[in-house]
Amino acid sequence: MISSVTNAGRQRWNTFVGALDAPILIDFLRRLIKGTQKKVFLIMDDMHVQDEPTVKQWLAEHADDIQAFDLQDDQPESAP
């Protein structure tokens, strides 16, 4: 399962079978920005799939709509 929550508490989620891969993540991101009026700021918790070239390309192509930030392993003080 992959999920998100807005600063207003709205939740979005997607369930899938198997491991999270680039096509599943891109589909989720596409749904996440659909119908939004403002830019989405997304914090991703070290999923590794975000480093895939297709994901990076998709994010670059949609930079006006979404900006992703990585919560890295080397920043444990940032993790909840």
Question: What is the tens place of the pLDDT at every residue in 13-27?
Answer: 899 999 999 999 999
Burial class (CB in 10 A: 0-12, 13-18, 19+), 29: buried
Which two structure tokens, joined as six digits, stand for 32? 């996440």
| pLDDT band of 66, cuts 50, 70, 90 | very high
Alpha helices by DSSP H, the chain: 22-33, 53-61
In the numeric block, the tokens 């989720």 are attached to 28
**4, 11, 14, 79 from 8: Cα distances, Å:** 11, 9, 19, 21
